[in-house]
Amino acid sequence: MQFRHVLLVSLASAALASCGSSDDAETSDELAAPEPVLTSAPTPTAAPDGTALVPGSWTVNQSAEGGFAAFGEEGAEPALRIDCDRASGAVTLTLGRAASADEAWRIDAGGEAARIDMMPVAGGLTAQIEGSLAIFHAMSNAGEVVVLTSPTGERMQYPTHPGISQVLYTCS
C-alpha cells in the first residue's frame, strides 16, 4: 500500500514538472502585470463638452507669508494664478492676459457661476476675490473643470486641483 502512495506522489510530481516548462515561465514573466501605482484623481484633458483645456499644470506653494496656486506651462508665465496674502487676508485671481481697460468675466465651477470684475495690471488682469465662496472652493474638486469666459465669449477651461483649497484656507 505504501508503495502505491509513493508511486502516485511521484507521478503527480512528474506531471506537474512537465507542465512548467521554461518557455511557459518566460511567457508568464513577459505577461506579468506591472505593479499598481496609486494616483490622485485623473486630470482631465478635455472639458465635458469635449473642448480642449488650456495646456499646463498646477503648481501650489505655501509659506509663512501666504500661498499661491499657479496654472501654466513650465517655463512660461502662469495663465491663471490664485494668490493669498496672509497679512492682509486678500485673495486675488490673476489671468495672464493683456488688457487696457476693466473687464467683466464669468467663472463657472462646481455648478456655480459668478461674475468677476477684472482690472488690468502688469502681467495680466486681476481681481480680488472672496476665497470663502463655494465657487472658488469648487476649483479644488478633483477631476472637474473651471471655465473662465471673457467679455467677448471666449472660453478658457482649466482642470481643478485639490491644492487650491489649501491656498484659500491660508487666507480664511
* C-beta neighbour count of 122 within 10 angstroms: 6
- Average pLDDT for consecutive 10-residue bins of the chain (172 residues)? 49 53 51 56 66 91 92 94 94 94 95 95 93 92 92 94 92 80
Starting at the edge strand found earlier in the chain, the sheet holding 80-85 runs 57-63, 66-72, 80-85, 90-95, 124-129, 112-121, 103-109, 145-149, 155-159
What pLDDT does residue 33 have? 59
- Between β-strands 57-63 and 155-159, what pairing exists: parallel, antiparallel or unpaired? unpaired
Enter the DSSP assignment of 141.
Answer: S
Q: Which residues 6+ apart lie within 8 Å of 13 measured at CB?
A: none
Whether the CB-CB separation of 167 and 67 falls below 8 Å is answered with yes
Handedness of CA 172, 115, 48, 58 (dihedral sign): negative
* C-beta neighbour count of 86 within 10 angstroms: 14
What pLDDT does residue 19 have? 55
Domain 1-172 falls under CATH 3.90.550: no
Q: Is the pTM of this model over 0.75?
A: no
Where are the chain's structural domains?
A: 1-172
Torsional class of 95: left (φ above 0), alpha (ψ -120 to 50), beta (otherwise): beta
Handedness of CA 125, 131, 133, 137 (dihedral sign): positive
DSSP helix/strand/coil, 138: helix
What pLDDT does residue 61 have? 93
